[in-house]
Amino acid sequence: MHVVEVFGRIFISSLFVIEAVRKFFSPDEGMMYMSQYGVPEVLFYPSLVFEFIVPLVLIAGFKTRIVASILFLFVLTVTLIFHTDFSNSMQLISFLKNTAIMGGLLIIISNKPQMCSIDYYLESKKGN
């Protein structure tokens, strides 16, 4: 089951990494979208770095619970800012997608890191 956990971390993280790469190659679109919702454009590049680095750390399984908690708060914030217009079916779908992501992150938070993670390796080294 340890491999299943790794695949779970990879699948949930891939969404963020792919989105960060997409935003990197079309920053004007991302900045315009943010400004439409009153989010300062100055937050674009920090969010881009966050969306790229933090999921990679989650995949590696380093500080897994903390990183998953931070990602959960990020997704919650993004959901509340950008995806609450339920009269728009795409926004409703995005809202539901994000709640599913948050559910996956809560599962990661609630479980101890398994064998295929840096956390597990560091914990086993402490025991020796």
Sign of CA dihedral 48, 52, 53, 59: positive
pLDDT in tens, 67-107: 999 999 999 999 999 999 999 999 999 999 999 999 999 99
Q: Residue 11: is its pLDDT beyond 70?
A: yes
Mean pLDDT for all residues in the chain: 94
* Mean pLDDT calculated for residue range 28-47: 95
Least confident of 19-23, 46-50, 120-124: 120-124
What pLDDT is attached to residue 114?
84
Q: Residue 19: is its pLDDT beyond 90?
A: yes
Q: What dihedral angle (degrees, nearest 10) is formed by the CA atoms of 86, 29, 80, 104?
A: 100
* Mean pLDDT calculated for residue range 38-44: 95
Q: What angle do CA 68, 89, 72 make, to 5 degrees?
A: 10
Q: Where are the domains of the chain?
A: 2-127
What pLDDT is attached to residue 1?
62
